Structure 1
Amino acid sequence: MTENRSHLERIKAELDCWEARSCAVPITVNHECRVLELQVPGLPDVESDTAGSAGPNTPSTVPVLVGKEGFASGKHYWEVEVGQEQDWVLGVVREKGREEEEGTRPREDYWALHRSQGEIFSSTGDHRIEKQMSCSVIGVLLDLEEGQVNFYDAKQIRIIVRMPLRLGKKPPEMFYPFLSKRERTHTPLIRSVSIPVPLKHL
């Protein structure tokens, strides 16, 4: 029974990944670097080029490339090739248009997955995903219908983490893909995704 349940869970996870890929969209990034102040556990300060880990509540200044395409509704999927790099950040950033609002915290403006010294963290809940987890291609599903961002291991076809979005009131806000830009090292690349052919019923 346990074996059958595990098999069904695996099939469900794979179907979830393939469904996400059916929402693939082309993404291009602005080559002009932007700077985000992120509060991600274990994130090294890129500007100082130090390898030490920051505290969970310590913001770090990170140069990133932001997508030209922004989304206010629907489901949108893309993949980022990170290779075997030990340090990277990628995810979704919300366009800042209400900085004057009381109670707005910087960490609510982005949803990110981060790898530092081989360990993967999520930006929500100071959560370590899995020690020494190997992911060479990360799939990202921005689901504005369900109000969440899903991160996938695109090679192993499995979900890494789901993060709930904090959606504002109308007018709709714009969300943009982003990924870290590193000097003297491999910069993650957004790669084209082939939309899967629907399965035929046997």
Structure 2
Amino acid sequence: MELLWRKYESEYVIIHSYTDRGNQELPGRGYKDQTELFPHEFIRGNLSLKLKSLKVKEAGWYQCFVKSAEGNYEARIELKIEATAPVRIFVTVPGGSGLGLSCKSTGWFPEPTVRWVTQDGQTLAMEPVTTITQDKQQQLYTVESHITVLGGKDVGEIRCIVQNSLTGTEQHSAIELGAKEKAANRKAEQEAALLDKDNVELHKWKETLTEELAIRRARSYWVTITLDPSHQHPELIMFKHGQGVQRRPSFLGPAPCIAVGSSGFASQRAYWEVEVGDGKDWELGVLSEDTRDQVIGGEVEERPKEGVWALGRAAGQYHPPEADTRLQTQEKAVIIGVYLEGEEGKLTFYNVVQMALIVAIPVPDSEKLYPFLSPGPAGGDGRDPLRLCPPSNCDFPQQLVQKRCNKDV
């Protein structure tokens, strides 16, 4: 018996072959380690082909051709491939008389469709501006859609839905635009002379909305941070994939235990989040390249005074002092958002649970800076690690207080 699996690419190309003369089995050219047969199943008539690590280019028509003493047989089948991806929605800088919303998703196949709807499924009257591009190498599609919501009525929940055109599979993200938020937004866009300065509640309302818009915009620059095992204190335990650290329970010394990110950022924007949980002592922020080199192998005996820009907690107080003042009026910060605006020379920390600003500090605008984490003493049981949160499409982090950002260590 001879068995050929072939794929039609302007002509039939062999991707796997088998002959019972010596039980010879060979993958086709360019398909090494990507295909597999099941010879032990042949006696049952199972001549299946397994394709591994499917990519978009594997879609198409396949032929199974069998030649035996009884005759020749063939069958064809079409393989269709779909790919879907998470959808993120965030608020852009308001312009004109409306509120800007942006929706983005990368990694779709075939080309998807996108639509904006209300909670009850009604299509929004506002016309979105949508662009769909395809990566030439991976052939996957990226969707970006923008819409401006006018502030004339209470829209409620708005959803951005991206749908696979092959199977109808959908992914979506939603944002709630209540009357309170939209009213505050309209007030913020009016001339300053029209603002009632005696209305303290309205001032607080506007400040809250401004901070929420700022953190939503910062989250659009989310990057994945991975800690570098070669740039960490030897008394730190690093979680798998470099997504968190904690002190060894046996180490109670005062020396700073620092773990540094594998990549630095210079004159660019980057955002990441860190779960500090119930930790009583910790520090996080960015280091200069020179300071990063000093912490290799725990060479420093005390925290470097130069080249460090950070937010921290020690002895029940936060530093810098303005951060402590601000956090006294907020819900406990269990997840910290870090936003580096390299070209602006600014590092901003946010209380993600409350969607509120903690503090903004100046940093060098042309120097490469590296993220770092420094957990406090483990207290003998290691309950207070620092974890890097994975990118999230959650629009209301306040609802994640109980779930936390990452329990896979």
Q: 1:11 and 1:128 mapped to 2: Cα distance?
A: 20
* AA matched with 1:129: D
**Which one of the candidate residues 345, 348, 352 is aligned to 1:154?**
352
Q: Is 1:25 matched with 2:220?
A: no
Alpha-carbon deviation of 1:140?
0.4
Map residues 153-192 of structure 1 onto 2, 5 A cutoff: 153-167=351-365, 172-181=366-375, 182-183=377-378, 184=380, 185=382, 186-192=384-390
CA displacement, residues 104-140 of structure 1 (integer Å, 9 cap, x when unaligned): xx53301011111332112xxx656237662100010
SS of alignment partner, residue 73 of structure 1:
coil
2:407 paired residue number: none
Do the aligned partners of 2:311 and 2:318 also contact (CA within 8 Å) in 1?
Answer: yes
* AA matched with 1:61: A
RMSD, aligned α-carbons: 2.7
Q: 2:267 and 2:374 mapped to 1: Cα distance?
A: 24
Do the aligned partners of 1:23 and 1:195 also contact (CA within 8 Å) in 2?
Answer: no
Q: Is 1:129 matched with 2:357?
A: no
**Which one of the candidate residues 262, 274, 283 is aligned to 1:80?**
274
Larger radius of gyration: 2
Rate the CA distance shift 1:148–1:24 in 2: closer, same or farther, 3 A: same
CA displacement, residues 87-116 of structure 1 (integer Å, 9 cap, x when unaligned): 11111001018x9xxxxxx53301011111
* AA matched with 2:371: P
Q: Is 1:62 matched with 2:268?
A: no
Q: Is 1:145 matched with 2:343?
A: yes
Alpha-carbon deviation of 1:34?
3.1
Alpha-carbon deviation of 1:8?
0.8
SS of alignment partner, residue 305 of structure 2:
helix
* AA matched with 1:8: K
Alpha-carbon deviation of 1:72?
1.1
Do the aligned partners of 2:342 and 2:364 also contact (CA within 8 Å) in 1?
Answer: no
SS of alignment partner, residue 9 of structure 1:
helix
User: What is the percentage of aligned positions where both structures have the same residue?
Assistant: 35
Do the aligned partners of 1:33 and 1:63 also contact (CA within 8 Å) in 2?
Answer: no
Q: Is 1:92 matched with 2:286?
A: yes
Q: What is the number of residues matched between the two proteins?
A: 163
Q: Is 1:117 matched with 2:311?
A: no
Alpha-carbon deviation of 1:193?
2.4
Do the aligned partners of 2:323 and 2:358 also contact (CA within 8 Å) in 1?
Answer: no
Map residues 25-64 of structure 1 onto 2, 5 A cutoff: 25-32=223-230, 34=232, 49=252, 61-64=255-258
Q: 1:149 and 1:91 mapped to 2: Cα distance?
A: 8
Unaligned runs of at least 5 residues, structure 2: 1-198, 234-250, 294-303, 396-409
Rate the CA distance shift 1:187–1:33 in 2: closer, same or farther, 3 A: farther
Is the strand fraction higher in 1 or 2?
2
TM-score computed with the length of structure 1 as normaliser:
0.71
Q: 1:128 and 1:26 mapped to 2: Cα distance?
A: 25
CA displacement, residues 142-186 of structure 1 (integer Å, 9 cap, x when unaligned): 11121010011011101100000134xxxx432110001454422
Q: 2:391 and 2:214 mapped to 1: Cα distance?
A: 16
Alpha-carbon deviation of 1:31?
3.1
Is the helix fraction higher in 1 or 2?
2
Q: 1:144 and 1:75 mapped to 2: Cα distance?
A: 6
1:200 paired residue number: none
Q: 2:290 and 2:350 mapped to 1: Cα distance?
A: 26
TM-score computed with the length of structure 2 as normaliser:
0.37
SS of alignment partner, residue 258 of structure 2:
strand
1:40 paired residue number: none
Q: Which of 128-137 and 1-10 deviates more?
A: 128-137
Do the aligned partners of 2:322 and 2:359 also contact (CA within 8 Å) in 1?
Answer: no
Q: 1:90 and 1:191 mapped to 2: Cα distance?
A: 14
Unaligned runs of at least 5 residues, structure 1: 36-47, 51-59, 100-105, 198-202
